[in-house]
């Protein structure tokens, strides 16, 4: 495996994220799995942290509990929730989304 492979993984992950439709969410692990990196959920978060480009619906990625992951700078967290609610995603009283309802199921 060479250097270009790693960058290819990054590109693959971003490509998958772009496929998540409006009003739906996906988990870090799910994205990693679809990108062919089954045990690299953490890397998905790592990439989203460093790369915030256009056309990347980063806000549709939540953790396995259906909640918005905690981060150093919490400014983007409230923004993430606002955007999702704007797309019709409802949050429970425990600040989680119902994955059985909103989780993206690729066909």
The token duo for 86 is: 């704007």
Helices 3-18/41-50 angle, 10° precision? 80
Among positions 10, 83, 87, 99, the unique one binding DNA when judged by CB under 7 A: 10
Quick note: the x/- pattern for DNA over 79-98, rule CB under 7 A, is: -x------------------
The answer to the question of residue 22 lying near DNA (CB under 7 A) is no
Q: Is 104 in the site for DNA (CB under 7 A)?
A: no
Give the closest residue to 73 by CA, choosing from 54, 53, 48, 93. Answer: 48
CB of residue 92 vs DNA: minimum separation in angstroms? 11
Q: To which residue do tokens 């679809």 refer?
A: 34
Per-residue x/- track, 33-62, DNA (CB under 7 A): ------xxxxxxxx-xxx-x-----xx-x-
**φ, ψ for residue 93 (rounded to 5)?**
-65, -20
């Amino acid at each position: 495996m060479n250097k270009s492979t790693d960058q290819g993984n990054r590109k693959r992950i971003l490509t998958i994220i772009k496929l998540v439709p409006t009003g739906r969410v996906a988990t870090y692990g799910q994205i990693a799995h679809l990108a062919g990196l089954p045990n690299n959920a953490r890397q998905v978060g790592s990439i989203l942290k460093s790369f915030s480009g256009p056309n990347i619906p980063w806000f549709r990625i939540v953790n396995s509990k259906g909640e918005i992951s905690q981060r150093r700078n919490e400014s983007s967290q409230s923004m993430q929730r606002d955007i999702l609610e704007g797309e019709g995603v409802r949050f429970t009283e425990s600040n989680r989304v119902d994955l059985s309802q909103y989780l993206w199921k690729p066909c």
